[in-house]
């Protein structure tokens, strides 16, 4: 295991895209310390920012990186990583796991916006909250999350899974507005409440909301009431209203919303008679 301990609190954003198991693999500590990055507009090497330690290698062949200290100003940790593990003992910054291709990232605290943006594979586990645009595409792109899994124990912001094409985003807390916007495929599973506008302009995929949602977009049509729904083989007990849409996009996405947590949606039941 390679441990990075911050030497001092960071005052400016740090570009952390070189902090990946792929980059660290087979390198001695002295070479890792010389890897170049930026702190604000100043060029640094990792040895100036971190105390770097290397413990005895485990039986696993995968490279393991542990980051200790407040890393909320370190952006793009694990960018394009394809193997190994990153363990962050505190907070993580924006763009965590950007375009990730494999491996595992675990965050003990919260993470900034754009976590798992445009990722292709791998697993991101965040035990706290996350910001906006989890698993989303960057502005001007339609290439959102295309595989892998993101699990968030806390709450998340807006536009989760924007242009999502495959994979699973599981949120144990609440979600902001526009979850699944432009979604093409994959699954977003929200175990608590949504602030609304879920599935806007989605063409495919599945959004499951187990808590309260203020309203359903008018471009969705109610299809049925289902006693349960499956999420990656797991049975989630309902009952759930199932809506199909976004019809304004000729979409066939599925939006499952808890019947018991949303009595104000009972008006839709007359369309099922």
pLDDT 10s digits, 242-271: 999 999 999 999 999 999 999 999 999 999
Q: Are residues 244 and 223 in contact, defined by beta-carbon separation less than 8 angstroms?
A: yes
Q: Is residue 52 part of a domain?
A: yes
Q: Is residue 228 part of a domain?
A: yes
pLDDT in tens, 166-219: 999 999 999 999 999 999 999 999 999 999 999 999 999 999 999 999 999 999
Domain count, the chain: 2
Encoded tokens for 78 = 């694990």
Q: pTM higher than 0.75, yes or no?
A: yes
Domain containing residue 39: 1-109
Encoded tokens for 132 = 């906006």
- CA gap 197, 82 in Å, rounded: 34
Q: Is residue 121 part of a domain?
A: no
Q: Is residue 127 part of a domain?
A: no
Q: Are residues 73 and 96 in contact, defined by beta-carbon separation less than 8 angstroms?
A: no
User: Are 20 and 102 found together in one domain?
Assistant: yes
pLDDT of 62 > 90? The answer is no
For residues 11-15, give the mean pLDDT: 95
pLDDT at 230: 96
221 SS3 class: strand
User: Are 144 and 222 found together in one domain?
Assistant: yes
pLDDT at 92: 98
Cβ neighbors of 232 (< 8 A, separation 6 or more) are 168, 187
């Amino acid at each position: 295991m390679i441990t990075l301990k911050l030497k001092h609190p960071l005052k400016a954003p740090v570009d952390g895209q070189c902090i990946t198991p792929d980059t660290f693999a087979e390198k001695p500590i002295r070479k890792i310390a010389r890897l170049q990055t930026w702190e604000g507009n100043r060029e640094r090497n990792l040895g100036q920012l971190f105390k770097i330690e290397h413990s005895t290698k485990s039986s696993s062949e995968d490279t393991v990186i542990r980051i200790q200290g407040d890393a909320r100003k370190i952006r793009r940790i694990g960018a394009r990583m394809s193997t190994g593990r990153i363990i962050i003992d505190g907070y993580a910054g924006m763009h965590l796991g950007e375009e990730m291709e494999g491996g595992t990232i675990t965050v003990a605290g919260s993470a900034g916006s754009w976590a798992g943006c445009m990722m292709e594979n791998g697993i991101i586990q965040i035990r706290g909250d996350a910001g906006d645009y989890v698993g989303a595409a960057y502005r001007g792109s339609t290439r959102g999350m295309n595989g892998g899994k993101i699990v968030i124990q806390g709450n998340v912001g807006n536009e989760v899974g924007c242009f999502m094409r495959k994979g699973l985003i599981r949120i144990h807390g609440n979600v902001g507005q526009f979850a699944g916007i432009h979604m093409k495929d994959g699954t977003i599973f929200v175990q608590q409440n949504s602030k609304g506008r879920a599935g806007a302009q989605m063409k495919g995929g599945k959004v499951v909301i187990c808590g309260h949602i203020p309203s359903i977009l008018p471009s969705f049509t109610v299809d049925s009431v289902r006693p349960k729904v499956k999420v990656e083989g797991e049975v989630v007990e309902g009952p759930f209203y199932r809506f199909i849409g976004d019809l304004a996009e000729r979409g066939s996405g599925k939006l499952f919303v808890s019947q018991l947590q949303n009595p104000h949606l009972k008006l839709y039941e007359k369309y099922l008679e």
